[in-house]
A and B are shown apart, each in its own frame.
Chain A
Amino acid sequence: MPELDAIDRRLIDELQGGFPICAEPYAEVAGRLGIGEEELLARLGELLGQRVLTRFGPMYQIERIGGAFTLAALAVPEARYEEVAAQVNALPQVAHNYRREHQLNMWFVLATETPDGIGEAISRIERTTGLNVRNFPKEREYFVEMKLAVRT
C-alpha cells in the first residue's frame, strides 16, 4: 500500500463527511487543511488513483428513494471461486463483495432501485452460478458509522 504523509492522513480524516455544498468547496476544505486548492485536488486524484480512497462524493441511501439493500452470501467451492466472483461482480446491483473465511465464503451487498430488484438479482445469481444464495435483509439498523480514522 502507498505511504501516506501527514497531509494525506488529515485530508482523509477531514473528508470522510461534511464536504461543503457551495460554489468552490475544494477551496474551502483546502483552507481548513492549510494547503492550496490545487494541491488538494492533486492529492485527492492521487489517492483515488491509488485506491486509497474508493470513492469521493455523495453517499446515497437507496431505501429513501424506494430502493432496497440486502446482504447476501454464497458457499463457493474453492475451485470455482474466481469464476463465481466474476459472475457475481458482473451484476451492477452488487455494490460490495468480500471474501470471508467461513463455509459461507462470499458476502455481497445488493442495492436495487426497487424492492423487487433484490429477488431478481438473487435469481439471476443463482441461475448464473448454480449456487444457492442466502439472503440476510436488514430487519433493523442499530448503528451505522463508516468513518474510521487513518491509523498508518
Chain B
Amino acid sequence: MIDDIDRALIVATQGGLPLVPRPYHAVAGRLGIAPEEVMARLEKLLANGVIRRIGAVPNHYAIGWTANGMTVWDVPEESVDEVGAEVGALDFVTHCYRRPRALPEWPYNLFAMVHGSTHDEVRSKAGIIAGLLGARSRAHDILFSSRILKKSGLRI
C-alpha cells in the first residue's frame, strides 16, 4: 500500500511531469521533500507495479493509427483463457481482456483492441483472429471508434 507522501506524489504527477531540465526536483519542490526521495519513491512505485511505465501517451489518430476497432468475441467459458492468451500474443492486439456478457443484448466475453490505418486493415486483422479461434468463437463484432470524447487518464 501507499502512504500519504506517495499519494501526494501521484496527485502531483498524474497530469504529467513538468517540462523543465530537472522535473523530479520541481515535483520535490512542490511537495516540500528532497528530490532524492521523489526519485526513490518513483523507483519503488515502478518496481511494485503502481506505475506501469513512465513516458508519453500518443493520440493514436495523430501518429497514423487512424482506425481503431474493439473486436469482441463470444467464446465458451472452457476455452476463454486459452483463447485470450493466444489473441493477446498477436502483435497487432494492444489490449486483451475477459469481461462479463450482458445477455441477451451483449453475448461477447473476450475483448481485443485492434489498431490499423484503415477500417479494412482492422477488419483483415479481425479476420486473422477469427481464423485463429475457428469454432471456439460463436459470434463476433467490431466496434470502430469514430471520435475521442475524452482522454485524460486517471485522476485521484
| Interface band, chain B | 35 or more
Considering only CB atoms, which chain B residue lies closest to A61 in the complex?
B52
| Interface band, chain A | 35 or more
B33 sits at the interface (CB 8 A): no
CB within 8 Å of A: which of B3-28? 6, 10, 13-17, 19-25
When the two chains form their complex, are residues A60 and B23 in contact, meaning their CB atoms are under 8 A apart? no
A23 sits at the interface (CB 8 A): yes
When the two chains form their complex, are residues B149 and A97 in contact, meaning their CB atoms are under 8 A apart? yes
Known contacts A58-B13, A101-B144, A143-B88; A24 and B21 CB within 8 A of each other: yes
CB within 8 Å of A: which of B96-113? 96-100, 102, 105-106, 111
Which residues does chain A contribute within 8 Å of B156, judged by CB atoms? 60, 62, 67, 113
Cross-chain contact of B61 among A1, A97, A104 (Cβ < 8 A): A1
Nearest chain B CB to A16 CB, angstrom units = 5
Which residues does chain B contribute within 8 Å of A45, judged by CB atoms? 19
Cross-chain contact of B150 among A19, A94, A152 (Cβ < 8 A): A94
When the two chains form their complex, are residues A59 and B99 in contact, meaning their CB atoms are under 8 A apart? no
Write the A79-115 contact mask toward B (1 if CB under 8 angstroms, else 0).
0000001001100111111111111101110010100
Which residues does chain A contribute within 8 Å of B10, judged by CB atoms? 58, 60, 65
Cross-chain contact of B84 among A41, A107, A140 (Cβ < 8 A): A140
B115 sits at the interface (CB 8 A): yes
When the two chains form their complex, are residues A137 and B100 in contact, meaning their CB atoms are under 8 A apart? yes
When the two chains form their complex, are residues B54 and A99 in contact, meaning their CB atoms are under 8 A apart? no
Known contacts A54-B58, A89-B150, A98-B149; A60 and B97 CB within 8 A of each other: no
When the two chains form their complex, are residues B97 and A134 in contact, meaning their CB atoms are under 8 A apart? no
How far, in whole Å, are A57 and B141 apart by their CA atoms in the complex?
Answer: 34
Which residues does chain B contribute within 8 Å of A19, judged by CB atoms? 17, 53-55
When the two chains form their complex, are residues B50 and A142 in contact, meaning their CB atoms are under 8 A apart? no
Nearest chain B CB to A90 CB, angstrom units = 10
A64 sits at the interface (CB 8 A): yes
B residues touching A (Cβ–Cβ < 8 Å)?
Answer: 1-2, 6, 10, 13-17, 19-25, 35, 39, 42-43, 45-46, 48-65, 68, 70, 81, 84-85, 87-89, 93-100, 102, 105-106, 111, 115, 117, 141, 143-156
Given A58-B54, A95-B153, A139-B97, 19 more pairs with CB closer than 8 A? A1-B61, A26-B21, A37-B21, A51-B62, A52-B63, A54-B57, A58-B13, A60-B52, A62-B156, A95-B154, A100-B143, A102-B143, A111-B155, A136-B100, A140-B84, A143-B89, A144-B52, A147-B94, A148-B60
